[in-house]
Structure 1
Amino acid sequence: MRVLLASPNFHQPRGNTVTVQRIANSLEKLAVDTEIISTTDKEWTTLPEADIVHGFHAYHFYKFIQKLDKMPNPYMVTITGTDLNHDLFDEHKREDVFASLKGAKAIHVFDDKAREVISNELSEVEDKIFTIAQGNSDFPIEKSPLEKGENTFLFVLPAGIRKVKNVPEAVEMMSKLHDKFPSVRLWLVGPIIEEQEGKAVEELVRQHDWIEYLGQVTHSSMGAIYQSADAVLNTSHTEGQSSAIIEAMGYGLPVLVSNNSGNRNIVTHHRTGFVYKTPNEFLDYGEQIINNNEIKQKIGQQAKQYIADHHSSSYEADHFLKIYESILS
């Protein structure tokens, strides 16, 4: 079987890129021949030969296939995050999302909440929606791109710099935490995706000598960064299912995440991490992570076990293969 995986912005280290590469690697272990193309980095008119095309991000994928000489048949779609939380409800994009989903032989979502949202908006596709949670990534042994300072407590925020990731508020909240705990350090990791937001974040970083902006790093470097970290943050306004949070939990790290449906789907408050609703809660939970080593270790171990139980990359690949075989039969 040959599967073509089509992802937007594949050559940037974003969540979709991590997801698609992990799936391709896992499918290859099942003797599935895969090829990955980017739907946004070049103009395509004809697709490479494949038995099935698997598109990621319903809106971007539909705009991509509209420009082809021949529409792919069959294809399936994975709903990622922005297409679920924004494009589906954008009056200028909604019909394209619908068309993408109607034409798909199967629709993949990361959790049952996403399934419910899509079913409510477009009931006719309900029978072809499949829920498969994101798998976890394996990392090689590498040296961290930056050395963690001695006697410091390091928070890491992995995020492409764009408004939905809410990085300026993260810096503001972390500044208050640093005022109380001067040993606190913050690493921001991810490419600048929106130029204006990038300028704003870079200016904030210049104002604080305890913050480092590592910029774009290879995904293989993230394992070493997680090993350096004491805790990992996600401050996004909305999320699909954050691969970075899954990875951090897989390393047994406590995570402190904003209260959105994607984060809540992975993180159970005070069991596998901390979910904050307000800046004051962020500070309170951040202080608990710093001050209470017993809680930090207990939550980290429970997070690690949860990921092992629910986010297996082999389980993910097995179920994709079953869907592909079902479509082709």
Structure 2
Amino acid sequence: MVKVALISPFTLPDYCGNSILTDRLKRNLTQYGYQVALFNTQKDLPEQAKEFSPDIVHSFNAERTGAWMEKFQHQFSAPWVITLTGTDYASWCGEKEPPSLVRQSLENAGALIVFHNQIATSLASCLPQLKSKIHIIPQGVAVFKEKTDRNTIRCQYGLDQKDIVFLMVGGIRPVKNIPFAINAFQEIEKAFPKVILLHVGPVIDQAEADRVFYWGKNTSCFHWLGGLPHQEVRKLMRATDIFLNTSFHEGMSGAILEAMAEGLPILASRVGGNLALVQEGKNGFTFSPTDLPTLIKRGIELAQNFTLRKQMGRISQMLARKNHSEKQELWLHEQIYLKLLGGVCLTKKGK
């Protein structure tokens, strides 16, 4: 049995891209016969991973896991895969040299995974010596089978059936650009008083949280629900109307993917990872993360147009099912693992 150690800076119950991705991979790899251990770099020690004695080590976010992995490598040697998730390359890729520890990690790894072609091209251009190690694996998204009634969920959260609810999901930190969204909704609320802006996610950066809550207390339509269990977030998505992402950059937002799977139209910042998911005018709209007038305009348009929301939501769901299956995601990961190890594939290629 192949033993895989997944190393992540965040794990459930904290809802963020890394935690959702690693939980999904652990579940699916285990289902197909792998022995998988998931380690949180903020809570677990490298010695614990050493005791697990993995055949493959797979870390997520080269920057946040770099120091932990450096300690681990001093104690244990195994083929290493890194998934670059967004914040670990956005500040330097295509513009300057990476931080020394990130560069060291990328050079030492046997394989590098990115979510879409744009970052693969940019990374290969920035660090051409790594080109042969770069693999593109679009994120998958789980099908959520629990079907709680939409009205019941709304009642649970104190939402009126006539409210038009925009949902944001993710930890509170500067890259998520949440005050920008709150400022926009001060204007959207004037044009459409029944609008609600919900945010779900834990505080990751306290200074940014202070900014968010300062602006939020002066915006009556803004409500912060804190961190919620993953399944509860998926239920809440089903009871809302539009999914909003205002990030300055994204690798590939797992929250957007889950919202698409739940049939929501997407209103998202025009950055690389979001553009890999949102087809302009088809399953949503995009805007520059500093363009307040466009966000306000598109927010009002979606709030007022039920038919457009439903049409875009259907396309979102179709795209999620067509392009982001869990089985395909798992099969592509397995090809990388087995290339580094040599072995027989346990799964069948999925669509």
TM-score of the aligned structures, taking structure 2 as reference length: 0.89
Q: Which residues of 2 match residues 130-169 of structure 1 at below 5 A?
A: 130-139=135-144, 141=146, 144=153, 146-169=157-180
Summarize the Cα distance change of 1:122–1:71 in structure 2 as closer, same or farther, 3 Å threshold: farther
Q: Which residues of 2 match residues 261-280 of structure 1 at below 5 A?
A: 261-277=272-288, 278-280=291-293
1:91 Cα shift? 7.4
Q: Which residue of 1 aligns with 2:66?
A: 62
Check conservation: 2:61, 2:85, Cα contact below 8 A: yes
Question: Share of identical aligned residues, percent?
Answer: 27
Secondary structure, in 3 states, of the residue corresponding to 1:83?
coil
Check conservation: 1:65, 1:71, Cα contact below 8 A: no
RMSD of the TM alignment (CA)?
Answer: 1.9
Check conservation: 1:108, 1:129, Cα contact below 8 A: yes
Check conservation: 1:88, 1:94, Cα contact below 8 A: no
1:45 Cα shift? 3.3
1:50 Cα shift? 1.1
1:258 Cα shift? 0.7
1:198 Cα shift? 0.8
Q: Which residue of 1 aligns with 2:230?
A: 219
Check conservation: 1:3, 1:52, Cα contact below 8 A: yes
For residues 90 and 83 of structure 1, the distance between their equivalents in structure 2, rounded to whole angstroms, comes to: 14
Secondary structure, in 3 states, of the residue corresponding to 2:260?
helix
Summarize the Cα distance change of 1:172–1:187 in structure 2 as closer, same or farther, 3 Å threshold: same
Check conservation: 1:140, 1:223, Cα contact below 8 A: no
1:283 Cα shift? 1.6
Instruction: Please state if 1:82 is matched with 2:93.
Output: no
Deviation readout 1:24-79 (Å, 9 max, x if unpaired): 11112221221100123243235221110011111233211222342432111101
Q: Which residue of 1 aligns with 2:347?
A: none
Check conservation: 2:261, 2:321, Cα contact below 8 A: yes
For residues 228 and 164 of structure 1, the distance between their equivalents in structure 2, rounded to whole angstroms, comes to: 26
1:187 Cα shift? 0.6
Q: Which amino acid aligns with 2:71?
A: K
Q: Which amino acid aligns with 1:17?
A: S
Q: Which residue of 2 aligns with 1:281?
A: 294
For residues 271 and 241 of structure 1, the distance between their equivalents in structure 2, rounded to whole angstroms, comes to: 18
Give ranges in structure 1 of 5+ residues lacking alignment.
none
For residues 214 and 182 of structure 1, the distance between their equivalents in structure 2, rounded to whole angstroms, comes to: 20
For residues 16 and 119 of structure 1, the distance between their equivalents in structure 2, rounded to whole angstroms, comes to: 23
Secondary structure, in 3 states, of the residue corresponding to 1:84?
coil
Q: How many residues align?
A: 329
Q: Which residue of 2 aligns with 1:314?
A: 327
Of the structure 1 ranges 23-32 and 126-135, higher mean CA displacement relative to structure 2 is found in 23-32
For residues 63 and 215 of structure 1, the distance between their equivalents in structure 2, rounded to whole angstroms, comes to: 29
For residues 49 and 130 of structure 1, the distance between their equivalents in structure 2, rounded to whole angstroms, comes to: 25
Instruction: Please state if 1:51 is matched with 2:52.
Output: no
Q: Which residue of 1 aligns with 2:346?
A: none
Summarize the Cα distance change of 1:211–1:86 in structure 2 as closer, same or farther, 3 Å threshold: same
Instruction: Please state if 1:297 is matched with 2:301.
Output: no
Give ranges in structure 2 of 5+ residues lacking alignment.
343-351
Q: Which residue of 1 aligns with 2:244?
A: 233
Summarize the Cα distance change of 1:234–1:29 in structure 2 as closer, same or farther, 3 Å threshold: same
1:276 Cα shift? 1.2
1:204 Cα shift? 2.4
1:238 Cα shift? 0.7
Instruction: Please state if 1:175 is matched with 2:217.
Output: no
